[in-house]
């Protein structure tokens, strides 16, 4: 990043965000509203959800219930 010093001087007044597509935003909303998913976020072009302390990567066309069930809990 070329202007790192400018961001450091801003001291928390600057927020960097990814450009999330509408479909990924809808997927994140589905994940957040799911009973078994603790949190959901977007990072590096991918959507993740946290279930029982485990991070799971989700795709647009995944069956969320099935993917959550297939992950073993602690």
Question: Which tens digits make up the pLDDT trace of 9-65?
Answer: 777 676 666 788 999 999 999 999 999 999 999 998 999 999 999 999 999 999 999
Q: Is 74 part of a structural domain of the chain?
A: no
The pLDDT of residue 53: 92
Q: Is 3 part of a structural domain of the chain?
A: no
The pLDDT of residue 8: 73
37, 26 Cβ separation under 8 angstroms: no
Q: Is 2 part of a structural domain of the chain?
A: no
Q: Is 38 part of a structural domain of the chain?
A: yes
Number of domains in the chain: 1
Burial of residue 65 (number of CB atoms within 10 Å: 0-12, 13-18, 19+): exposed
Q: Is 52 part of a structural domain of the chain?
A: yes
Domain that holds residue 34: 13-63
Q: Is 29 part of a structural domain of the chain?
A: yes
Give the residue, 71 or 69, on which the prediction is more confident.
69
Distance in angstroms (rounded) separating the CA atoms of residues 14 and 6: 10
The pLDDT of residue 51: 94
């Amino acid at each position: 990043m070329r202007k790192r010093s400018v961001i450091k001087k801003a001291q928390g007044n600057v927020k960097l965000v990814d450009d999330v597509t509408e479909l990924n935003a809808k997927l994140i909303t589905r994940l957040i509203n799911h009973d078994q998913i603790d949190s959901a976020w977007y990072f590096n072009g991918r959507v993740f959800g946290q279930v029982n302390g485990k991070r799971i990567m989700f795709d647009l066309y995944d069956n969320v219930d099935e993917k959550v069930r297939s992950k073993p809990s602690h």
